Copies of this chain bind each other. A is one copy, B any other.
């Protein structure tokens, strides 16, 4: 056995174990009995300790030093293992455990504070999480920028400064579009009615199949917050059902199919290597967004969906497919990021991105966070936050230590905009299929040009090779202005 063989064999097992840990997370959110939390937390901790030991195993350093990769894929595998090994070794075990313990505690405190509208109960533990994450960032950054060191976990090879430039360029056009749309004379109808759970789920399965979800390698379950989980042959999705709002279930499903389809589409040869997963959170989100929005909320697909829903629910209060298209894409004022439409979503992200950068750099203190949040919301959205659960307390992310994660949502939208332009050019008759509820020509193009590569290329190179163009915000902004301009008669 060469050092390269040893390294690959060891990594294979680590990947398998990490896949087991992920499956345990799925179990917890979908099927686990509610009385099993204590047991599960001990099981997860044991898995995490095994994984941490493996990720910092000194033999990895020796194998890396002696490894002689012989293909492009092997070279990239060595690069990614080296990256993870270096990062894992930089964080002391003591700090890693303390972060795990504190964030687990903080998540509970956050949930209670949100229920009680009491940010003052949450801020002390958030402050503790923040200072631990800053300590982690300092260990990872090795003298570099703290925020970039955290961002690197979710979107490698991008910096906070670059994202700030990108977002600053986007904000004025998004704010203007939001104002035009909300002030427009023509306003879409709302969908009214009662939509039984079983029918919603049946339709969600039809949609998932239309977007190429492979049921032999996945399944659909209910969860409080929809997510996708797992890779390769076992990539599962979840959705939720609100019986007054079927779009919630249907578009959550299509969104998660985007994530899951990416994992299902990765080259089999990469299974159980660092290439066998989506390459970054931003690229992952680009897949979920282009499935959900550019394909799923387009005029063609919603035309098909109008007929299917009319049949399934014995008629709708919306008169025709054009009106239904407007309803699906209705823009309404709102405080909550997860409920935001395509126009406003990125503004929510920008707010969080700017605040978390300030927090990590130390320019903003947690005690001033509520005020900073509310001031910024008023400025960008034109309304005052009415209660803490509609403001700072709406997101779990920071409580569990996810700093540097939020911007990947908006990066995903930007990538989806770029990909959509290239896709429409490459598959000019895509809408003809979408009008039959069939997204397969789009899925196939994405699979061939992006998904199958897994982690083979860094995120930006992957998007640029797939699109044949530099990454920029214009395709997304042009698409949004064109689409919503038309719907709202601007």
CA gap between A204 and B40 in the complex, in Å: 27
* Total chain A interface residues with beta-carbon distance under 8 A: 38
B46 touches A216 (CB 8 A): no
CA gap between A201 and B47 in the complex, in Å: 35
Chain B residue at minimum C-beta to C-beta distance from A38: B233
Q: What are 24 A-B contacts defined by CB distance under 8 Å?
A: A12-B46, A13-B46, A16-B42, A16-B45, A16-B46, A17-B43, A19-B39, A23-B24, A23-B27, A31-B31, A33-B233, A34-B216, A35-B214, A35-B216, A35-B217, A35-B233, A36-B217, A36-B233, A36-B234, A39-B232, A39-B234, A39-B271, A40-B233, A42-B272
CA gap between A177 and B457 in the complex, in Å: 73
Residue in contact with A50 in the complex, picked from B12, B17, B217, B236, CB distance below 8 Å: B17
A-B contact sample (16 more), CB < 8 A, given A12-B46, A17-B46, A27-B27? A12-B42, A17-B43, A17-B50, A20-B20, A20-B24, A20-B46, A31-B219, A33-B219, A33-B236, A35-B214, A36-B233, A38-B233, A39-B232, A39-B233, A40-B234, A50-B50
User: Is A417 engaged at the interface, CB distance under 8 Å to the other chain?
Assistant: no
Copy total for this chain = 2
User: Is A215 engaged at the interface, CB distance under 8 Å to the other chain?
Assistant: yes
CA gap between A98 and B445 in the complex, in Å: 44
Q: How far is the CB of A326 from chain B (nearest CB, A)?
A: 37
User: Is A437 engaged at the interface, CB distance under 8 Å to the other chain?
Assistant: no
User: Is A226 engaged at the interface, CB distance under 8 Å to the other chain?
Assistant: no
Max chain B Cβ within 10 angstroms of own Cβ: one of A45, A219, A233, A236: A233
**A38 contacts across to B, CB distance below 8 A:** 233
Max chain B Cβ within 10 angstroms of own Cβ: one of A17, A43, A217: A43
User: Is A404 engaged at the interface, CB distance under 8 Å to the other chain?
Assistant: no
Q: How far is the CB of A227 from chain B (nearest CB, A)?
A: 16
A-side residues, CB < 8 A to B, are 12-13, 16-17, 19-20, 23-24, 27, 31-40, 42-43, 45-47, 49-50, 214-219, 232-234, 236, 271-272
Q: Report, nearest first, the 9 A-B pairs whose CB atoms are least far apart.
A: A35-B216, A16-B46, A36-B234, A39-B233, A36-B233, A35-B217, A13-B46, A16-B43, A16-B42
Q: How far is the CB of A50 from chain B (nearest CB, A)?
A: 6
**A46 contacts across to B, CB distance below 8 A:** 12-13, 16-17, 20
A17 touches B47 (CB 8 A): yes
Residue in contact with A33 in the complex, picked from B19, B33, B36, B234, CB distance below 8 Å: B234
A33 touches B271 (CB 8 A): no
**A219 contacts across to B, CB distance below 8 A:** 31, 33
CA gap between A17 and B53 in the complex, in Å: 14
A13 touches B49 (CB 8 A): yes
CA gap between A109 and B27 in the complex, in Å: 31
Q: How far is the CB of A206 from chain B (nearest CB, A)?
A: 18
Chain B residue at minimum C-beta to C-beta distance from A231: B39
**A236 contacts across to B, CB distance below 8 A:** 33
Chain B residue at minimum C-beta to C-beta distance from A26: B27
**A45 contacts across to B, CB distance below 8 A:** 16
**A234 contacts across to B, CB distance below 8 A:** 32-33, 35-36, 39-40
Q: How far is the CB of A471 from chain B (nearest CB, A)?
A: 33
**A34 contacts across to B, CB distance below 8 A:** 216
CA gap between A42 and B215 in the complex, in Å: 21
Chain B residue at minimum C-beta to C-beta distance from A271: B39
**A13 contacts across to B, CB distance below 8 A:** 46, 49
Q: How far is the CB of A58 from chain B (nearest CB, A)?
A: 17
Chain B residue at minimum C-beta to C-beta distance from A214: B35
Residue in contact with A216 in the complex, picked from B12, B33, B42, B272, CB distance below 8 Å: B33
**A50 contacts across to B, CB distance below 8 A:** 17, 50
**A35 contacts across to B, CB distance below 8 A:** 214, 216-217, 233-234
Q: How far is the CB of A96 from chain B (nearest CB, A)?
A: 16
CA gap between A23 and B24 in the complex, in Å: 8
CA gap between A12 and B36 in the complex, in Å: 16
CA gap between A102 and B32 in the complex, in Å: 33
Chain B residue at minimum C-beta to C-beta distance from A236: B33
CA gap between A271 and B43 in the complex, in Å: 12
**A23 contacts across to B, CB distance below 8 A:** 24, 27, 43
CA gap between A268 and B236 in the complex, in Å: 33
Residue in contact with A47 in the complex, picked from B12, B20, B36, B217, CB distance below 8 Å: B20
Q: How far is the CB of A104 from chain B (nearest CB, A)?
A: 16
B43 touches A19 (CB 8 A): yes
Chain B residue at minimum C-beta to C-beta distance from A14: B46
